[in-house]
Amino acid sequence: MTKQLVLGAFEVVAPTFLANSWRHRLAQPEGYAGLAHWQQLARQLDAGGFDFLFFAEALAYPMTADGDVPEVVVREAVQFPVHDAPLLLSGLAATVDRLGFVVTSSTTAERPYLLARRFSTLDHLTGGRVGWNIVTSDMQDALVRLLGEPAVTAHDVRYARADDFVSLCLALWEEGWDDDAQPMDRQTGVFNDPAKVHRLQHRGPFFSLDGYYPVSPSPQRTPTLFQAGASRAGKDFAATYAECIFTQERSTEALARLVVDLRDRAEARGRPRDAVKVVNGLSVIVGATEAEARQLRAELTAAPSREAMAALFLGWTGVDLTRLDPRATLAEVSTEVGQSLLAQHSDPGTTVGDVLDGLRETMGGFKVTGTAEQAADEIEAIVEATDVDGFLVEFTFGGTESYRDFIADVMPLLRARGLLPQQPRRGTLREMLTGAASPHLPSTHPGRRGSS
């Protein structure tokens, strides 16, 4: 039987993701700060059959360890400005009644109780259509300077903190209330049954809590859990907690190995191999002819300046390529931020100059370019070669133009080949993405095992 893919749309609440693509004639950057812009996009994705809209997050902006912000960051809108995505979700959920929403929040910058409360509220407001993309955060220098963190947190320590953070959130979501704790009985005057609302006590290496959780159980209880780390610690963390894992591989061989690796890791932690869904980044540009599509791709690739791409790399890895000898390599460079991205560019045969020149083509996942038929063929080939579960379709020029041709021309072909359901999925986000019969975490998930 042909695998039916899950599809998300990758966005960020900013004028652009790749610097300077906002200047392209097809881009629509003007409305990024207003709700109407995102409502239009949500309607398009919902009607087109996408399963969810995914918001990446940048808490800050690229800066060096000494606090210097490259001028290009401000001038060319390199993740500057960038707005607060979670605040959009209730407005978007009221706009469409099927599409799910995933938002990124950091375990390094946030506090468990406050984050849990926010996501429970969003899960109520969206009718169970919300997911949390768990990150430990890039831009660590910005967290020190803007949030008052004492120092950059070591990479593996961030994942230890994330483990404690998520464990506490799961306890709040899964153990704070029994399912039938709210009788709302007017005759007896009992709104909440005290015997079924439980005092929670958590003493972890990073967080502690002693008290009650004042948000009633939402449709999913726990939001659908995403994770996007690709380091060893990140993959272990994802295999423990994530239900969907966002990857950014660019070769079928590498993605096939990663899919097997992640499923092996999940199985080693007592979860079924299919408990994790792997969704990889995918940029699609379609034209009436292959030449037209390739021209559009070339325009998109050429849009960001070399300086702007270096600033993005600085924000994601903490490494300022412009301060290194262009003839040197990254083989001996280390970082506590973005280790997996740095490793992708650390081949001893690749110079810093090569990395700078190639960033515009190597950022992101697969890049599919051609006619609709060619795009469908290539996507089908990727699925057959890797057994990936779906894709996050990366926005290209910004706004609804990014997805118009993919929805109109490519998705019908994928649907005809059995790679997409004939009718868009419905239900909670967990039911749509994992195929679960229940909106709640499965019994094999550590969040449920801990509450049983």
Q: Which residues are annotated as a binding site for FMN?
A: 104, 155, 159, 231
b/e code 366-387 from CB counts within 10 Å (16+ = b): bbbbbbbebbbebbbebbeebe
DSSP H helical ranges for 303-351: 306-317, 339-344
Residue type, 106: S
Q: Give burial (CB, 10 Å; 0-12/13-18/19+) of 236.
A: middle
* CA distance linking residue 195 with residue 177, whole number of Å: 9
Residue that has been written with the tokens 């893919």 in this structure: 5
Q: DSSP of 171-233, one letter per residue?
A: HHHHHSB-TT----BTTTTBSS-GGGB--EEEE-SS-EEEE---SPPPSSSSPEEEE---SHH
Q: How many CA atoms lie within 13 A of 246 on its CB side?
A: 28
Q: Is the dihedral of CA 399, 243, 281, 103 positive or negative?
A: positive
Q: What is the DSSP letter of 409?
A: I
| Preceding peptide of 223 cis, ω within 30° | no
Token pair listed for 385 = 């070669």
Contact 82, 14 (CB under 8 A): yes
Give the span between the Cα atoms of 357 and 366, in whole angstroms: 18
Q: How far apart are CA 57 and CA 12, in angstroms?
A: 6
330 forms bridges with which residues in the sheet? Answer: none
> Binding site: which residues?
104, 155, 159, 231
